[in-house]
Amino acid sequence: MKQEYSVKNDTKDAFKLYLSKTKSQVESELAKLVLKLSKLNLHPQIEYAILSEGKRLRPLLAILSAESVGGNRNKVMSLALAFELVHTATLVHDDIIDQDEMRRGKLAVYKKWSVNDAILTGDALIALAVNLASRYGETILKTVANSALELCDGELMDLRFSSKMMTEESYFKRIREKSASLFRASTYCGALAGGGIPSEVHALSTFGENFGIAYQLRDDLLDLTLEGNIALKDIESGRLTLPLIRLYATGSSEERKQMENKLQTLMNGNNTMNDETAESILQNIRQSGSLHYCEKKIDEHLRQAVASISMLKDTEYKAYLVEMTRALSLK
């Protein structure tokens, strides 16, 4: 990590403690919420989905944003939980769409119960999120709803392979909607509920969007640098990640045509050719410099995230936000 992201060692230690305690508090509050739902027929499925292991990044960012503008975490906890519920709902539904059988080391909800159960569980989680967010007024409620709508739209774009979508502009539009929208809403609403002034709320909203973009870029990059099934599965599913798009952009017209044909073969589900075709694309990505290009884009968005909060008061919470970006950096 470069110096711009660095913080003092004692701040790093304090951040680790802050992160651990805050995550524990979020999980404790989630458990209390689940307990209140014990009379629902969907209670076992909701409990299974919510209490599975997770990073809890979105509620953490909502709380941290509130505290960075002088807010009280206890007053924004329900709002923070709402973002975790929306995120969990998308994971439950995504597993059905992607036909992923495992989630966080456990069977996906649809595999443990059924597709119908999983769809209803995701719907219930969104309803719960709306209920929690409604306590914070119309602006925040609309923001939560709009972020979920953007997320759905971005997910649909991600599912529709087309050579016309193999541009950076299209890619960043998709991840702003699919991934960054919920991060942006978390920091925006956290700051607003925490009593931030307009300039602070805007700064933290910008931070959340750039953090979310960097997070998705990093996720895509790590998948492609892994050996084995994960990297191949991403390509075989036709997911147009930035390294793949960069490879396409820098290729000759003939190379582009070959790549389009290979991706179309994968999307058509020719299982006898899938692994070989995906592996050839993966090797081209690794040899082309596309991964390094993606690393530079991650660094660029992390820099923008840090720069966006420069106007915040210098508190430990601002330092923790910087440390959040440092944790994402690959340097």
Q: Is residue 308 pLDDT above 50, yes or no?
A: yes
Share of the chain above pLDDT 90, in %: 68
State the Cα torsion 182-188-193-198 to the nearest 10°: -170
| Residue 220, pLDDT score | 86
Residue 106 has phi, psi (to 5 degrees) of -130, 165
> What does the pLDDT read at residue 34?
98
Look up residue 307 and give its two tokens.
Answer: 């720069």
Q: pTM of the entire structure? A: 0.92
> Using the 8-state DSSP alphabet, how is residue 64 labeled?
H
* Domain 3-328 sits in CATH 3.40.250.10: no
Residue 4's pLDDT is: 45
The predicted-structure confidence for 233-257, as pLDDT tens digits, reads as follows 666 666 788 998 999 999 888 988 8
125 neighbors 90 (Cβ within 8 angstroms): no
Instruction: List C-alpha distances in Å: 99 to 4, 93, 175, 241, 267.
Output: 41, 10, 21, 19, 14
* Bigger pLDDT: 47 vs 259: 47
| Segment 314-328, tens digit of pLDDT | 999 999 999 999 998
How would residue 277 be classed by pLDDT, with cut points 50, 70 and 90?
Answer: confident
pLDDT at 179 over 60: yes
Average pLDDT, the chain: 90
Task: Determine the pLDDT at residue 285.
Answer: 87
> Tell me, what's the pLDDT at 3?
40
Domain boundaries, the chain: 3-328
pLDDT-derived band at 260 (thresholds 50, 70, 90) equals confident
DSSP state of 180: I
Nearest to 158 by CA among 145, 176, 182: 176
Q: Could you tell me which residues come within 8 angstroms of residue 28 by beta carbon, excluding any fewer than 6 positions away?
A: none
Q: Do 201 and 102 form a contact (C-beta atoms < 8 A)? A: no
Checking if the pLDDT of 165 tops 70, the result is yes
Provide the token pair at 70.
């002088």
C-alpha separations of 199 from 96, 181, 189, 325 in Å:
40, 19, 13, 21
Burial 113-143 (b: 16+ CB within 10 A, else e): beeebbebbbebbbebbbebbeebeeebbeb
Q: What angle do CA 292, 249, 299 make, to 5 degrees?
A: 30
Q: Per residue in 60-118, pLDDT tens?
A: 999 999 999 999 999 999 999 999 999 999 999 999 998 889 998 899 999 999 999 99
pLDDT band at 269 (very low <50, low <70, confident <90, very high): low
pLDDT score of 162 more than 80: no
Task: Decide if pLDDT at 223 tops 90.
Answer: no
| pLDDT at 6 exceeding the cut of 70 | no
Q: What is the pLDDT of residue 271?
A: 56
Q: With H, G, I as helix, E, B as strand and everything else as coil, classify residue 107.
A: strand
High-pLDDT (> 70) share of the chain, %:
89
**DSSP summary character for residue 4:** G
At 109 the pLDDT is 98
Give the C-alpha distances (Å, rounded to integers) separating 327 from 2, 84, 116, 185, 330: 12, 20, 37, 21, 8
Per-residue pLDDT at 280 exceeds 60: yes
Query: Is residue 213's pLDDT more than 70?
Result: yes
